[in-house]
Copies of this chain bind each other. A is one copy, B any other.
């Protein structure tokens, strides 16, 4: 399951994507409006800045803002950053590769093939899930809700 940190990161980023190219947003405002513990959010935003996804301005009227186009930031990146690898087992992982400790003869591992299928499917879907696409889906859902009544 996703760590809360990852969830908070996604929520904060979607919000910051909605403010793309506007004034920077302050930690305190973001924390209050998205109901995220302020000090916890602080650490999350710092990580996102260190990862090059956000930028910040200090001092009065400062805050955080998205430093990349919302079309290019996707869930695969965010999940890897806060939650670790997307795969269920290390021997099918991108960037975190380790051989299965349990099974030295990896090439014979019939279990592995299924986990690789799952990982590949998940990565493909998460890569399509850009901040821009998430916002489009949210807006579409909101609109269809209104037309229903």
Interface residues of A, Cβ cutoff 8 Å to B = 1-2, 7-8, 10-11, 14, 34-35, 75, 79, 84-85, 87-90, 102-103, 107-111, 113-114, 117-118, 121-122, 125-126, 128-129, 134-142, 145
Contact = CB atoms under 8 A, between A and B. Distances in A.
Number of copies of chain A assembled together: 2
Contacts of A107: 141, 145
A111 B10 CA distance: 8
B108 A138 contact: yes
Contacts of A136: 110
B122 A75 contact: no
Contact of A138 (B2, B8, B109): B109
Contacts of A84: 1
B121 A125 contact: yes
A135 B141 CA distance: 44
Nearest to A2: B88
Contact of A137 (B102, B113, B141): B113
A90 B138 contact: no
Nearest to A104: B35
A14 to B, nearest CB: 7
Nearest to A139: B110
A25 to B, nearest CB: 18
A148 to B, nearest CB: 10
